[in-house]
Amino acid sequence: MTVSLAARLARLEAMQAPRASLETSFSPALRLLRLLIAVHLGDLQPHEPVAAGVAKALGYGSTLEMRMALTEKGESTMDWGNRHNEAVERMLAGAQGIPQSRAILVRLFDDLPAWACAHSFAAAPDFDTAAEWVSL
């Protein structure tokens, strides 16, 4: 029984998908929002990672400071959420509803410099899901 159980466990573990890294585990909609925030609000530069632009847009002194706020419990995480929501509101400039939010997201994406698009998109960005998220 033990050998059989160990063999079954080994087969099951082999079937598991590898764990995605933080950068690649984001959905296309979230990658779109991160990139737009980083470029349009955080003045992302071609040599910087997207997280650096997001950190600047949210008012953190560095990417490390932002990551620490995301991993802490309580007030820091709530502060990050508030900063993120305020950044999305600034970026959307008062859009009301999903159609207006989607139109603004498409326009902001179309205004991105060519180097910025290489950061996050192998396929088309998910404007529909992103518009739904920001319209909640």
Contact 61, 46 (CB under 8 A): no
Other residues' Cβ atoms within 10 Å of the Cβ of residue 36: 28
Q: Encoding tokens for residue 50? A: 């997207």
Q: Encoding tokens for residue 66? A: 């932002």
Instruction: Inform me whether the pLDDT recorded for 124 exceeds 80.
Output: no
Distance CA 55, CA 66 (A): 6
The mean predicted confidence, pLDDT, of the chain is 82
pLDDT reported for residue 72? 74
**Residue 32: half-sphere exposure toward Cβ, Cα within 13 Å:** 24
pLDDT reported for residue 67? 86
Hunting for tokens 């632009």 — which residue is that? 53
Instruction: Inform me whether the pLDDT recorded for 39 exceeds 80.
Output: yes
pLDDT band at 116 (very low <50, low <70, confident <90, very high): confident
pLDDT reported for residue 73? 66
Hunting for tokens 């909640």 — which residue is that? 136
Q: Encoding tokens for residue 72? A: 């802490």
pTM here?
0.74
- Give the model confidence (pLDDT) of 9-32 as tens digits: 677 767 665 544 444 456 788 888
The arithmetic mean of pLDDT across residues 83-106, rounded, is 90
